[in-house]
Structure 1
């Protein structure tokens, strides 16, 4: 029959290793958490970056941009990175005194306190331990929790984070205003120069051709043509009547023929002036159709420059109106709270995690040891 199980040397070694690797460190952690670690107080706040809402098509485009991760989400991302940045840590340290507060407990709580000789980079790393940010990119809501050894100090740091965040948003607003006004004024200057150039080109055309309005001049020429056509019709009728009433030797018939011939010659001259003959007022030998085409092109350029100038002027007014109000602002939906009791450090949670970690380490070491021992 099998002998009763008894503790052997390897069993006592396993128990000893459990005590040294699990129980002793766990007892030290428990003693430190309940006897040494200083109480910490939390101040929570919540805020988001909002933009003023526009009506009409801009609101629709803004909604589509937000669905696609537009500017609202981008502003939240910028604010999130700014809160964790070294620049904010340095600014709050200068205004609130982070080093003095968190290093004051270094002698009594070196695990959770800040070293008095900490550099700016170490202070930034410590900042990420005492400041926890919960950020939802979809809604843009941001929750911040600040830990400190004093509830008033925690609330003061949280308030300073809001103030510095608002200052950063204001800086973005100022930069956006300056850029919008600068670009609008540049476009206005270009539109004014374009309009001035178009008007000067039209003035040079009128000076060169001594034609103020080719359309009016063309209408005058067409009036002359219509008058000649009417005179020719009247002369032909008169000629037909004379032929019926008198003989071919009548001097009046000869006179009417000469009149008809003169009118036809004048009509032919006028028609050639419309097609190929140079104008009497032109010094460059340009024909009339070319001048008409050139004038119409200059008029189109001037009208386009005027429309562009009016649109740019309206854009400047809109940019100036937008620059007079704040397009982005930091909306605080949860003011910084003041804790009445200490909730940190989370002693039970840290102790349980420490025990679990030590147990896992001991188990792995034991399994590795017996695996090597069994292969020998």
Structure 2
């Protein structure tokens, strides 16, 4: 058999042998590729470049150095701070009457959320800062040399004091229970407790002022209503007195009853006189003196009846001819107004008495559950926590900047 191959077949034979290993009963043998096959050059070993040095340097400048400086300041320069705690709540006490106490329907005490909200804002206001500064001198308490971060600066105007006050005094307010707890920081434990005591005293004064204002408002409204009712009663009494002086009649209804009784009596006398006259005429003539006397008696009684009827139909002392019916109508209107005014006055007087009793029964006060404490150990500033927060913030910001740098670099 001819063993000669063409040059092309010879060139293809090594690659075929390299691609398919020889199979057989012996072990598999993989033939190495031919030296003529092309290979990629190996990657060069990674080296430290300029950007790596700059990133490491930025980490030192941005993170390590500030953390070291902050730690050195916190542990060597920052002054120790002592905390004083005071806790209280606003209570409203209502002492009921004896009947209410026996019935068990009175509420002896309760919390007032609206007053607590007012107190919460008051403790953060310039008013209490000025009160503390006037009583204790905040510059003496909070100004220290060598610690410009945690101490009060040279500016002692009310705006600067208020800003520093909000750093050193923290309020914790539980709206569900109405409990308020205040933490006061100072560089001496006695100063911290003194500030806490002033805060509690001023808060108590504010609650007392709110109570006084509420009582004054309630009493003022009741007094104003009573004054209006009293003026109305005076006007109605003066109108009724003027009517009586003008008509010379105290009570037209009673006067009518009196005149009606007199007319009835005269009418009865008239009837008797006429009966007597008729009896005389049966036994005597008209020239009899007894008949003349009976006629004169009848005439006199008739004259009285006419006069009384004339007085009943009109009265002197008033403008024009005013009938009794008009007088009675006017009198009834004046009397009705007087009765209404009197009832209004009695109601206003009772309301004033009730307001006075309520003002005396209700009392707002501060109930302390934590008296101002005196610290023995400086718990602030919390150096470990502050240093951890500073480190975390610096590391996070540095990482973000590095990621932004590599993102911009990869896009180029």
**TM-score above 0.5:** yes
Normalised by the length of structure 1, the TM-score is: 0.75
Cross-structure match for 1:201: 239
Question: 2:286 corresponds to which residue?
Answer: none
The answer on 1:133 being equivalent to 2:174 is no
Go from structure 1 to structure 2 and tell me whether the alpha carbon gap of 1:220 and 1:351 turns closer, same or farther (over 3 Å shift). Answer: same
Q: What displacement does 1:43 show?
A: 0.9
Equivalent position of 1:150 in the other structure: 188
Unpaired runs of 5+ residues, structure 1, are: 57-61, 239-258
- Show the counterpart of 1:99: 139
3-state SS of paired residue (2:94)? coil
- Show the counterpart of 2:386: 350
Give the C-alpha shift of residue 10 in structure 1.
2.0
Corresponding residue SS for 2:151? coil
SS in 2 for 1:373: helix
Partner of 1:28: 69
CA offset digits 1:21-60 (Å, max 9, x no partner): 112111222222222222211111111222232659xxxx
Report how many residues are paired.
332
Q: CA deviation at 1:281?
A: 7.0
What are the equivalent positions in structure 2 for 1:92-241 lying under 5 Å apart? 92-104=132-144, 106-107=145-146, 109-220=147-258
- Report the 3-state secondary structure (helix = DSSP H, G, I; strand = E; otherwise coil) of the residue aligned with 1:207: helix
Q: Which residue of 364, 368, 374 corresponds with 1:328?
A: 364
Deviation at 1:165, TM superposition (A): 1.3
Paired with 2:332 and 2:47, the residues of 1 have a C-alpha distance of 115
Q: What's the CA shift string for 1:125-182, capped at 9, x where partnerless?
A: 1000000011234443211110111222111111111111112222333344444444
CA distance in 1, matches of 2:58, 2:364: 61
Of the three residues 122, 127, 138, the one matched with 1:82 is 122
> Greater helix percent: which structure?
1
> Which residue number in structure 2 is paired with residue 290 of structure 1?
326
Higher relative contact order (CA 8 A, sep 6+): 1
TM-score of the superposed pair, with normalisation by structure 2: 0.69
Q: Secondary structure at the match of 1:339?
A: coil
Distance (whole Å) between structure 2 residues aligned to residue 229 and residue 347 of structure 1: 117
Query: What is the deviation of 1:89?
Result: 1.2
Q: Distance in 2 between matches of 1:228 and 1:200?
A: 37
Residue 44 of structure 1 aligns with which residue? 85
Deviations 1:245-297 (A, max 9, x none): xxxxxxxxxxxxxx9xxx9xx9xx98x999xx645675443333333332222
The residue aligned with 2:395 is 359
RMSD of aligned alpha carbons: 3.7
